[in-house]
């Protein structure tokens, strides 16, 4: 169901700032003019900028977050017979990347904040465990101190699926700076976005980076000799050129998202469960997720009043038909949570009045 008349859109991908649009078009024009379309100079420039931003040594640009995850796991040698521990709450790309390596995804339950419970992850480790993929869900960083301690103790490397958390900071470290390898998506909906599809893999290890460069181009070295099978996942030069114009504006965008989150928090405290009590730098609010009873009726109420909304993501990865063959795991928190979550509009195009309108509808629905 879509609202008859949209008053507050969930997301608006139009570029409405004229000066910024001109910058983006100029970036594309530069690429068309120099003609180095495939892995042009803007790709290397983007990789340098992203590595520097995240405090990492190396970055390999790829064409999606899904590719980024798949290549990250392949770079660590994840393959048939291996198990990879992850969360049940993510976009399905996380499970798919694991399974496409030939490995088995093993879901460890989340905590109330919807991020992986480190104790559950530790308990899921077996001799077959090859990696732990953490997902900073909705843009909130995981309990990385606990997860790093588990990784250190067990020798199992951490991989960050940081697709939703570009720019989030925990104890001075940015999303993407934690795992042995970290994967980002810059698809058009993400907080740090392209205008199409894009992704990146970060690491400090030059050997892994070399492997990632081969992995993103059919497992080749020197563009000729194929040393292992892979896909074509190169980052598009025009997207890189545009993202170089987006990056300097990211700080303002994150600040506005946090402002919106703080306002929602003030207006909805005590009415619904909020994403976090206090808005800090460790959350970039890729989505603003509230939780409450009668969620499905609330969806209808919002739509009837012109407010688009989404369940993000509606189905646990473990419940997807493609994974019906996996043994059932004990996931009480995730199973309870997924029935109660709802993402309400929080993009930077919203005015405070929009936020008040949405919050007012939620308050009204719960009789607050």
Ligand X SMILES: *Cc1c(COP(=O)(O)O)cnc(C)c1O
Nearer to ligand X, 93 or 116 (CB): 93
Q: Which residues contact 163 (CB under 8 A, 6 or more apart)?
A: 65, 68, 69, 91, 93, 135, 183, 184, 185, 190, 199
- Among positions 72, 93, 131, 284, the unique one binding ligand X when judged by CB under 6 A: 93
Count how many residues are written for the chain: 368
Q: Is 232 helix (H, G, I), strand (E, B) or coil?
A: strand
Where does this chain touch ligand X (CB under 6 A) — which range of 103-111, 159-167, 267-275, 277-285?
159-167
CA distance 192 to 155: 32
Which range of residues in 156-164, 225-233, 274-282, 317-325 is near ligand X by CB under 6 A? 156-164
* Whole-number Å distance between alpha carbons of 241 and 28: 7
> According to CB under 6 A, which one of 53, 71, 91, 192 is a site residue for ligand X?
91
Find the shortest distance in angstroms from Cβ 48 to ligand X: 21
Smallest gap, in angstroms, from Cβ of residue 183 to ligand X?
7
What is the x/- site pattern for ligand X, positions 179-208, by CB under 6 A? ------x-x---------x-x---------
Nearest approach in angstroms of CB 114 to ligand X is 12
Of 59, 66, 82, 334, the residue at the interface with ligand X (CB under 6 A) is 66
298 vs 331, beta carbon nearer ligand X: 331
Closest approach, Cβ 300 to ligand X, in A, equals 26
Contact stretch for ligand X (CB under 6 A) within 85-93, 209-217, 269-277, 334-342: 85-93
**Which three-class secondary structure string do you get for 133-190?**
EEECHHHECCCHHHHHHHHHHHCCCEEEECCCCCCCEECCEECCCCCCEEEEECCCCC
Angle of CA points 233, 164, 352, to nearest 5°: 135
Nearer Cβ to ligand X (129/185): 185
Minimum CB distance to ligand X smaller for 243 or for 361: 243
- Under the binding rule (CB under 6 A), the answer on residue 358 touching ligand X is no
CA distance 133 to 95: 10
By CB under 6 A, residue 90 contacts ligand X: yes
The answer to whether 284 touches 259, Cβ cutoff 8 Å, is no
Q: Does 362 interact with ligand X (rule: CB under 6 A)?
A: no
As separate numbers, helices (DSSP H) first and strands (DSSP E) second, the chain gives 12, 13
Q: H or E element: which one contains 132?
A: strand 129-135
- Asked if the peptide bond before residue 313 counts as cis, ω within 30 degrees of 0, the response is yes
Binding site for ligand X (CB under 6 A): 64-66, 90-91, 93-94, 135, 161, 163-164, 185, 187, 197, 199
């Amino acid at each position: 169901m879509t609202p008859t008349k949209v008053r507050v859109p969930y997301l608006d991908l139009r570029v409405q700032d004229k000066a910024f649009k001109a910058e983006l078009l100029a970036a594309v024009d530069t690429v068309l003019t120099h003609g180095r379309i495939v892995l042009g100079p803007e790709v290397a420039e983007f990789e340098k900028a992203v590595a520097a931003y995240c405090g990492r040594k190396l970055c390999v640009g790829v064409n999606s977050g899904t590719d980024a995850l798949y290549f990250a796991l392949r770079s660590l040698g994840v393959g048939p017979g291996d198990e990879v521990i992850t969360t049940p709450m993510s976009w399905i790309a996380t499970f798919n990347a694991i399974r496409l390596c030939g490995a088995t995804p093993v879901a460890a339950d989340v905590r109330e904040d919807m991020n992986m419970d480190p104790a559950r992850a530790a308990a899921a480790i077996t001799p077959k465990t090859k990696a732990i993929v953490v997902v900073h869900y909705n843009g909130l960083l995981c309990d990385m101190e606990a997860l790093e301690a588990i990784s250190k103790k067990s020798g199992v490397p951490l991989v960050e699926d940081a697709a939703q958390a570009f720019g989030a900071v925990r104890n001075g470290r940015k999303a993407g700076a934690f795992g042995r390898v970290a994967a980002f998506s810059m698809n058009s909906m993400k907080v740090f976005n392209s205008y199409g599809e894009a992704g990146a893999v970060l690491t400090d290890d030059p050997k892994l980076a070399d492997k990632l460069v081969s992995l993103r181009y059919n497992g080749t070295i020197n563009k000729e000799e194929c040393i292992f099978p892979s896909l074509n996942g190169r980052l598009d030069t025009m997207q890189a050129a545009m993202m170089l114009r987006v990056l300097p504006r990211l700080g303002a965008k994150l600040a506005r998202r946090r402002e919106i989150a703080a306002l929602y928090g003030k207006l909805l405290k005590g009415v619904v469960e909020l994403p976090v009590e206090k808005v800090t730098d460790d959350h970039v609010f890729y989505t603003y997720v509230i939780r409450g009873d009668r969620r499905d009726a609330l969806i209808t109420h919002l739509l009837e009043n012109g407010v688009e909304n989404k369940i993000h993501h509606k189905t646990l990865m473990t419940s997807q038909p493609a994974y019906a063959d996996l043994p059932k795991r004990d996931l009480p928190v995730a199973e309870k949570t997924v029935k109660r979550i709802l993402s309400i509009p929080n993009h930077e195009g919203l005015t405070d009045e929009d936020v008040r309108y949405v919050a007012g509808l939620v308050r009204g629905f719960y009789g607050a």
